[in-house]
Amino acid sequence: MSSQPRIVRKLLETIREHQTFCVVGHMRPDGDCIGSQLAMTLALRNEGKEAVCWNQDPLPQKYRFLDPERVIESPKRGKAFDCVIATDAATFDRLGTVADCVQDRKVLLNIDHHESNTRYGDVNWVSSRSPSTAELVYRLLRAGRFAITKPMADCLFTGVSTDTGSFQYPTTRPSTYHVAGDLVARGANLALICDEVYQSYPLSRARLLKHIYSTFRLTDDDRIAYFWLKKADFARTGAESADTEGLIDHIRDIEPVIVACVFEELDPERTRISLRSKSHLVNVSSIASEFGGGGHSAAAGATIPGKPLSVQRRVVAAIRRALHHSH
């Protein structure tokens, strides 16, 4: 296949040269991260490689069906690998505690689609035009003629589907549908994936939604929307921080809102923010990077030290500035 990008050939050569692998992804993994990590690991094992798969955090409940054999494990110290493959991680730090456990390696491959990716690998395939890392993993596996089994098709389809907001975000492109179509042809179980990922929310999440709908705030002519998730809100509703994926969509999806922001209390003086933009003129990755975070132009995040109200004021001011510059 001479039309393969050189970087894909380089990745495949590196994989073929090595025997022991560790596939890693970012902390608080989402569907794309989990799907990409699992599919990559299963592909390597099918090729007779020795591969482990590490994430700092446990899988959110709704993705557990993708990993019935518990391939994804907590990192362990003192292991050595020929090759470490990071998927969907914009920076090496985003690997969290996994980062310390994969220091003993010959080569680090970085496969990602975040425009803020710092290219921390020895070989970097960073394609910010790709709506998901799963789409990149799919292309890599196809180019390398790796088998894509049904469980792998489920994993990759979940990644493509979740990172495109079910094929809605503007990053969605013709190839996204081709990839998804081919994955369905290879046996991805659409009914199961839709049921597990989109139609099986725990009641605790519904309680959290009640809280969100009754407390969210609008400002700047209703163009900025935000809400807070405090530790007490999790305790009261029984929800877990891992189950907050997608809550922000409920305020983003209001018509006048251009930028949505969630503030999540991690500690009294540490707040995680999630940002979403509905305008190509407002790049929330730039806003997040003002606070040491990153992401994509339409979806980004950061973790910010400081008192909650001061964090809120600074973040809302940064969003406001970005909105003004968009005119």
Instruction: Determine, following the binding rule CB under 6 A, whether residue 128 of this chain makes contact with ligand 5GP.
Output: no
Core vs surface per residue 103-123: b (16+ CB within 10 A) or e: eebebbbbbbbbbbbbebbeb
Among 116, 132, 133, 161, interactor with ligand 5GP by CB under 6 A: 116
Q: Are 125 and 135 in contact (CB under 8 A)?
A: no
Instruction: Determine, following the binding rule CB under 6 A, whether residue 303 of this chain makes contact with ligand 5GP.
Output: yes
State the binding string over 74-103 for ligand 5GP (x if CB under 6 A, else -).
----------------xx--x---------
Residue of 30, 94, 99 whose CA lies nearest to 66? 30
- Polymer length in residues for the chain: 327
Instruction: Determine, following the binding rule CB under 6 A, whether residue 296 of this chain makes contact with ligand 5GP.
Output: yes
Instruction: Determine, following the binding rule CB under 5 A, whether residue 115 of this chain makes contact with Mn ion.
Output: no
Q: Are 239 and 226 in contact (CB under 8 A)?
A: no
Instruction: Determine, following the binding rule CB under 6 A, whether residue 301 of this chain makes contact with ligand 5GP.
Output: yes
Instruction: Determine, following the binding rule CB under 6 A, whether residue 302 of this chain makes contact with ligand 5GP.
Output: yes
Put residue 277 in one of left, alpha, beta given phi > 0 → left and psi -120 to 50 → alpha. beta
Nearest distance, CB of residue 81 and ligand 5GP, angstroms? 24
**What order of strands is seen across the sheet that includes strand 105-112?**
72-73, 50-54, 20-25, 81-87, 105-112, 123-126
Nearest distance, CB of residue 144 and ligand 5GP, angstroms? 26
Interatomic CA distance for residues 228 and 261, integer angstroms: 9
Instruction: Determine, following the binding rule CB under 6 A, whether residue 132 of this chain makes contact with ligand 5GP.
Output: no
Tell me, by CB under 6 A, how many residues bind ligand 5GP: 16
Residues that bind Mn ion (CB under 5 A): 32, 88, 133, 163
Residues that bind ligand 5GP (CB under 6 A): 26, 90-91, 94, 114, 116, 274, 293-296, 299-303
